[in-house]
A and B are shown apart, each in its own frame.
Chain A
Amino acid sequence: MRKAVAILLLGIFGYYFASIFLSLPFGEKREGVGKHYLENTISETGSVNTVTSIVVSYRGFDTLGEVTVLFLASTGLGAILFDVRRKKRNEQNASPIVRTTSTVFYPMIILLGAYVFVHGHLTPGGGFQGGAIIATGVLLMFMAYRKFEANHTLLSVIESLAGLTFVTVGLTGLIYGGSFLVNFLPLGTPNDLVSAGVIPIIYIAVGFKVGAELTVVLDDMLKTIR
């Protein structure tokens, strides 16, 4: 019954939905703010990766919100699972192969993550991707060593400091540059590692923050009963 109703409703919904989007020409160039970004990214932000310049500079406020969302997720998960967790994991370690591999790969993955967010303004990738990669690395260790404990204090300090860095950069911009999150550092030469003003700073902060937050999320979930 429910199935039939759902299929009927989704059929009608899908029909109209498709009729709107399928009439949209695919791969056509459209006018809009995107053009402006592409044309001015280097002169205005110094970042060659336009996506990064949009994410961190033009729409940096969104990114602050995005970081906040992740922060909320880790905080919220902590609140939601506060009573459910409490049990130490007492299972066996994984097989020696996994352990060795993990130990070898762990620093490499962390390094990869760091590379990704440090080069956010030059190559694809950035704080979020890098942070996620770092968290994956930590997860590997979680899986390999059952006794591997994430240092919660350290993580939350990293989380806080990274968040504070982001907001402080923003507020510094407000004081020195006249508006929140403004790029108050020199832009440098495009395609240099040290360029694009505050973008690397923000992305590094975001990278640390995301890495720490996702680790906390994983840890929170792993620590629950069963």
Chain B
Amino acid sequence: MEFSPVHYIAVPLFAAFLIPLVGKVSKELVKLIPGLVLLYLSYGSIMLFPKGMENPIIEIIAGFKPPFGIALYYGATAAFLVTLVTLLGFVIWLYSYKFIIREPIEKYYMLFMLLITGATGIMLTGDIFNLFVFLEITAIASYSLTAFLRDKDSAEAAFKYLLIGSFSSAFFLLTVMILYTYTGTLNLADLASKADMIPANAKGFALLLVIVGMGIEAEIFPLNGWAPDAYSQAPSPIGAVFAGIVVKAAVYAFIRIIFLFFKTPEVLHFIVIIGLITLIIAEMAALRQHQIKRMLAFSSLGQMGLVILALGIGTTESTSAALFQMFNHAVIKAMLFFAAGYLVFHSGSKLIDSVTGLGYDKPITSFFFSLGALAIIGLPPFSGFWSKLNVLISIASEGEILIIVLILAASVVEAVYYLRIIGKLYTRKEIDSNPRRTPISGLLAMGILAIVIIVIGIYPDVLTQWLQPAAENLLNSEEYIQTGLF
């Protein structure tokens, strides 16, 4: 059986259904299965990736040609993101291996796996209602995982997430309704080719519904109230999944829909502005956080604002820069969540102040955190620098100097709160040496990410060669329609 895109969804689902059965036999096996699945998918990704980069692969489900059946669209952008997701998913699994020690472990791994499946499905699917279903899978898995820990705050965060997430799904369902009503189809490519059939006011309304509905998942400014709570209360590996995988999928779906149906200068301007506002407000809010993971959450919102901004510029350069930024954010923020997870675990408190002096007691974890912090601010020679530079150049070539200045002002704020933590980490303070150690699997996960950050930081061409086709694929709606419909 040759590897095809549907494996991304079928195999993890199979494994997820299998886990309860296996759980009756051995708990250790339960822990291993997700790793094996993700390893298989990573292997498959690497096999499939070059093909997807060249030509989009359309996989038909159930043997009915689109627009009648559902098809998966594995284009260059999806290839890029899905590969990122599976590889990152594997690293996150590695980290979870020793981190999640709380029962019900098998439920954790089922939910984790379904969460990744849902996110992958969002990226792959070529059908708008199927997209809705995958959004729901992702959302419900997220709610459950947010409330996974014992404390009351996690339940609160999950409820807020659910409340706002329900708005998102309701709005998105309404969008599907409007689009279906006027075009009579659900396939994205077919829809895009028939977009002119929709009357202007219905189309405008649908656009607003998409902006709000998907904007909730993509965490744009006034809609992201749930995000800091969910990120900070979920277990650390899940925080990494949210920042690295779920929001990427949401932003991809958001931008794909916007580019397919509503790509007009006004809309793009609006996206730039909303991205900028998100960036600035999130960074400002992060400045005064007292909890380390909550701060990371706000920083994540800011980074996604930057991504959305760059996507809104709408040129090939800016789009590839945005994809680069997505990649970096996924890797770096995952690393920060990993390191923060153990910092919180070692210090026994979520507060930033409590990490004081941990740099000497837990040097390796602190080192990884510092590395991540320097990378996410965009300091060379780490990977974050290149994406930020590319974003800035792409904005400058549009002549928007003011936006650059604002982005960089936000970056200064970002630098302040990250370096405040580094400063605290390496401040001398008498603390009792803590017998807890970061386990090997956690260090291995962080080490892999650190190597990625440094290698790409020193030699970005490893990655940049793939960005160009991915960006073109995202921008080129014509090609999407043609290939999507055969």
Contacts and interface: CB of A to CB of B under 8 A. Distances in A.
Pair from one complex: yes
Contacts of B57: none
B133 A82 contact: no
Interface string B92-130: 000000000001100110110010010001000001011
Given A20-B202, A69-B133, A164-B18, A83 B181 contact: no
Interface in A15-29: 16-17, 19-20, 24
B18 A58 contact: no
A183 B108 CA distance: 33
A124 to B, nearest CB: 21
A180 B62 contact: yes
Given A19-B201, A61-B62, A180-B6, A75 B111 contact: yes
Q: Which of B4, B16, B108, B186 has the most CB of A within 10 A?
A: B16
Interface in B1-42: 1, 4, 6, 10, 13-14, 16-21, 24
Contacts of A177: 63
A177 B70 CA distance: 16
B10 A20 contact: no
Given A32-B184, A58-B62, A157-B21, A68 B13 contact: yes
A168 B18 CA distance: 11
A72 B186 contact: no
Measured as residues with beta carbon below 8 angstroms from the partner, the interface class of chain B is 35 or more
Given A33-B67, A173-B62, A82 B13 contact: no
Contacts of A16: 205
Contact of B147 (A69, A79, A163, A182): A79
Given A32-B185, A76-B144, A175-B1, A58 B68 contact: yes
Contact of A31 (B108, B150, B155, B184): B184
B354 interface: no
Contacts of A170: 10
Nearest to A35: B184
Contact of A57 (B6, B62, B133, B205): B62
Interface string A73-98: 10111111011000000000000000
Contacts of B180: 32
Nearest to A24: B181
B136 interface: yes
Contacts of B205: 16-17, 20
A28 to B, nearest CB: 10
Contacts of A31: 184
A83 B137 CA distance: 24
Contacts, number: 167
Interface in B235-282: none
Given A164-B14, A175-B1, A183-B62, A32 B24 contact: no
A119 to B, nearest CB: 21
B178 interface: yes
B72 to A, nearest CB: 9
B183 interface: yes
Contacts of A159: 17, 20
B10 A167 contact: yes
A95 to B, nearest CB: 36
A34 B184 contact: yes
A160 B20 contact: yes
Contact of A71 (B10, B16, B59): B16
A179 B60 contact: yes
Interface in A25-74: 30-37, 44, 57-62, 64-66, 68-69, 71-73
A62 B21 contact: no
B10 A180 contact: yes
A61 B61 contact: yes
Contact of A174 (B6, B21, B103): B6
B20 A157 contact: yes
Interface in B116-174: 117, 121, 127, 129-130, 133-134, 136-137, 140-141, 143-145, 147-148, 150, 155, 158
Nearest to A209: B17
A153 interface: yes
B5 to A, nearest CB: 9
Contacts of A68: 13, 16, 114, 117, 137
B380 interface: no
Given A75-B144, A76-B111, A181 B61 contact: yes
B69 to A, nearest CB: 6
B64 interface: yes
Q: Which of B121, B133, B186 has the most CB of A within 10 A?
A: B133
A72 B68 contact: no
Given A160-B17, A163-B17, A83 B1 contact: no
Contacts of B18: 160, 164
A20 B184 contact: no
Nearest to A34: B184
Contacts of A65: 121, 130, 133-134, 136-137
Given A33-B185, A79-B104, A72 B13 contact: no
A122 B382 CA distance: 62
A218 interface: no
Contacts of A71: 16-17, 114
A72 B137 contact: yes
B62 A80 contact: no
A178 B114 CA distance: 25
Query: Nearest 3 CB-CB pairs, A to B?
Result: A32-B184, A76-B144, A163-B17
10 contacts: A60-B61, A68-B114, A72-B137, A79-B104, A79-B111, A80-B158, A160-B20, A175-B1, A179-B61, A179-B62
Interface of A: 16-17, 19-20, 24, 30-37, 44, 57-62, 64-66, 68-69, 71-73, 75-80, 82-83, 153, 156-157, 159-161, 163-164, 166-168, 170-171, 173-175, 177-183
